[in-house]
Structure 1
Amino acid sequence: MTSSHTFPKPMNKIAANIVSDAISREKELGIITTKIGGATVVDAGVKTRGSLEAGLIVSRICLGGLASVTLTGVQLDHVFLPAVQVSTDYPVESCMASQLAGWRIQVKDFFANGSGPARALARKPKKLFDYLGYSEQSDEAVLVLETDRYPSEDVVAYISSETKVLPQNLYLVLVSPASIAGSVQVSARIVETGIFKLHSIGYDIKTIRYGFGVCPVAPLHPDPLVMAGRTNDMLLYGGSTFYMVEFDDDEKLRGFVEKAPSLASKDYGKSFTELVKIYGWDFLYKVDPQIFAPAVIAVNNVKTGSIFKAGVINMEILRKALY
């Protein structure tokens, strides 16, 4: 596995530079910066409106600065939607060691899912980092919190303790899932979603050399629960991925690819936008975990030249999410 010395700087340092640049463009990006417990807190969509551009920046921060995140577009029926395009030459490091929302932060009554390179310092979750063999050292840490409220000083102290980084060198980026930046950064998880699914079915993700994906951005709705449904539908029924891998056995690889898209789940075909109306926030625990995967996965084995593809874009479900 590629270790941290491959990069000119640790992901936390790269991400800290991205945050500093964003802070210098506060008004343009529609973000607010404040200090809590000594840490720099950047609000990209909790008490502020944010912006599409802020969403792209939050996505790049989540990916540790090791991926390109840009806007493109997709045609869904008669609606032309913005879409996020993600490209990375460091798919495992950027997606699994940074972007994955693998740090559940709960301090008293505050809860948030944590993403970003600070996870590599805190090694959350430890089992994944042990498998990846990835670690880095940094006196700065950057963490993205999916939340609808500001963290307390106790939250800052906890994150500082877990990352072993002083509060004054800690950057916390806040994004509400119901904001435009929140919707963008969820869609920007398209490449990571595919890698996580491959990992969950037993594929050795350390053989992945390149990742690319496109996913529609869910239109906004004032109800955060509806937004949770829409953003999941965009990923699972509208997102496409492409990976380059180095793998020894084409037939085994074909088998993994066939199991990788959302289509392979027994719960495929259920609209998350409709499920949230039935189950509320429990919807995440009422479905087969294998459903959490891109709609389409294509894999190029660079050792043999083979390309395997599975899954489809499901227009019927996307219509339910949009109308």
Structure 2
Amino acid sequence: MVLSMNKLSVRIAKEMIDREKELGLLVSEVGKASVVDAGVKALGGFEAGLLVSKICLGGLASVSVTHFTIEDLYLPAVAVSTDHPVEACMASQLAGWRIHVGDFFANGSGPARALARKPKKLFERLGYSEASDEAVLVLETEKLPTEAVVEHISKEAGVKPENLYLVLVSPASIAGSVQVSARIVETGLFKLDTLGFDLRSVRYGFGVCPVAPLQGDALAMAGRTNDMLLYGGITYYLVDYPADSKLKEVVEKAPSSASKDYGKSFTELVKQFGWDFLYKVDPSIFAPAVIAVNNVRTGALFRSGRVNCEVLKKAIGIA
């Protein structure tokens, strides 16, 4: 790919810096790196969340606000569209870089992952690589990074600290909730990948997911945001695939409803198990509520799954 996701995302990061007050951000410099707080100490907002989402997607996707109806309730939602689904979602947006320096913890998303090749096996399988003297990383965290964190990330990404941009969001923030819902296309691709589907055949990805209303701390929001994706997220993909029969089998297994634990509310699970809730369910449930796949080679369209209004309403406390 000629386009550099890091170069594209640096433009977005600079736009956020220029619009600091308008977007409710707090911009600072740590260890010569530019740090854009969009939801740790800063208030942030929906517009900030959209820009954070675009950075997560390496600048290769459009992200916009739309609406989602749960019976008699309307929620804001995000719509994601990308002609570069594998690069944008798997090589950039996937939270595949765990940062642990001292007492600082964060999940890293964004194009800097492609420079550091985190995780390495995934990038080898995708056959994707990128070179850039600038890097952008989105950190889901509850703390501000230290100079040691900046040094660690810049070294792993192979860039100078002064050419590094770190964008911060808390899962319990407005922007944090928005950018999780914007992972809807990625969620579907990740599930297809676990089913052994060759992602290199995916040509386009689209998804819509409701944005979880804010509730308490990061743990509570982890439950709600997962419920939005798994029970309300809708996806659509264009693929160029040789075998419709095989494609149909994969699509039938792809939505969250194919899991033996379908119907369990993550909002309730976090109350019972805390962060261990991630290990208390069948991993195959981490998938969109609905997936539709159009094979451009044959014209066939396969669809599976359903939106679960009951679980969604329970998750936001209106059941």
Task: Normalising by structure 1, report the TM-score.
Answer: 0.97
SS of residue paired to 1:87: strand
Q: For the residues of structure 2 that align with 1:295 and 1:286, how far apart are their CA atoms? A: 19
User: Counterparts in 2 of 1:30-69, with a 5 A limit?
Assistant: 30-69=24-63
SS of residue paired to 2:142: coil
Q: Render the CA deviation track for 1:185-210: whole Å, top value 9, x for unaligned.
A: 00000000000000011000110000
Q: For the residues of structure 2 that align with 1:28 and 1:143, how far apart are their CA atoms? A: 22
Verify: 1:176 aligned to 2:203, yes or no.
no
230, 243, 258: which one aligns with 2:252 = 258
Q: CA deviation at 1:118?
A: 0.1
Q: Render the CA deviation track for 1:87-134: whole Å, top value 9, x for unaligned.
A: 000000000000000001111111100000000000000000001111
Q: For the residues of structure 1 that align with 2:18 and 2:34, how far apart are their CA atoms? A: 13
Q: CA deviation at 1:223?
A: 2.5
Verify: 1:210 aligned to 2:207, yes or no.
no
Q: For the residues of structure 1 that align with 2:58 and 2:206, how far apart are their CA atoms? A: 16
121, 130, 133: which one aligns with 1:136 = 130
Runs of 4+ in 1 over 2 A off after TM superposition: none
114, 118, 125: which one aligns with 1:120 = 114
Q: CA deviation at 1:322?
A: 1.1
Q: For the residues of structure 1 that align with 2:279 and 2:51, how far apart are their CA atoms? A: 30
In structure 1, the residue matched to 2:303 is: 309
Verify: 1:78 aligned to 2:72, yes or no.
yes
Q: For the residues of structure 1 that align with 2:39 and 2:96, how far apart are their CA atoms? A: 21
227, 230, 242: which one aligns with 2:224 = 230
174, 183, 191: which one aligns with 1:189 = 183
Q: CA deviation at 1:78?
A: 2.3
Which shifted more, 243-252 or 258-267? 258-267
Task: Normalising by structure 2, report the TM-score.
Answer: 0.98
In structure 2, the residue matched to 1:23 is: 17
Q: For the residues of structure 1 that align with 2:71 and 2:252, how far apart are their CA atoms? A: 27
Q: Render the CA deviation track for 1:40-74: whole Å, top value 9, x for unaligned.
A: 00000000110100000000000000000000001
SS of residue paired to 1:75: strand
Q: For the residues of structure 2 that align with 1:48 and 1:158, how far apart are their CA atoms? A: 24
In structure 1, the residue matched to 2:241 is: 247
Q: 1:322 is aligned with what amino acid?
A: I
Q: 1:126 is aligned with what amino acid?
A: K
Q: For the residues of structure 2 that align with 1:22 and 1:246, how far apart are their CA atoms? A: 37
Verify: 1:272 aligned to 2:272, yes or no.
no
Q: CA deviation at 1:289?
A: 1.1
Aligned-pair identity (%): 69
User: Counterparts in 2 of 1:281-292, with a 5 A limit?
Assistant: 281-292=275-286
Verify: 1:300 aligned to 2:281, yes or no.
no
SS of residue paired to 2:278: helix
Q: For the residues of structure 2 that align with 1:239 and 1:133, how far apart are their CA atoms? A: 28
SS of residue paired to 2:12: helix
SS of residue paired to 1:97: helix
User: Counterparts in 2 of 1:89-168, with a 5 A limit?
Assistant: 89-168=83-162
Name stretches of at least 5 consecutive residues in structure 1 with no aligned partner: none
Q: Render the CA deviation track for 1:116-175: whole Å, top value 9, x for unaligned.
A: 000000000000000111111100000000001101111111001100100000000000
Q: For the residues of structure 2 that align with 1:46 and 1:109, how far apart are their CA atoms? A: 16
Q: For the residues of structure 1 that align with 2:280 and 2:67, how far apart are their CA atoms? A: 32
Q: For the residues of structure 2 that align with 1:253 and 1:183, how far apart are their CA atoms? A: 32
SS of residue paired to 1:267: coil
Name stretches of at least 5 consecutive residues in structure 2 with no aligned partner: none
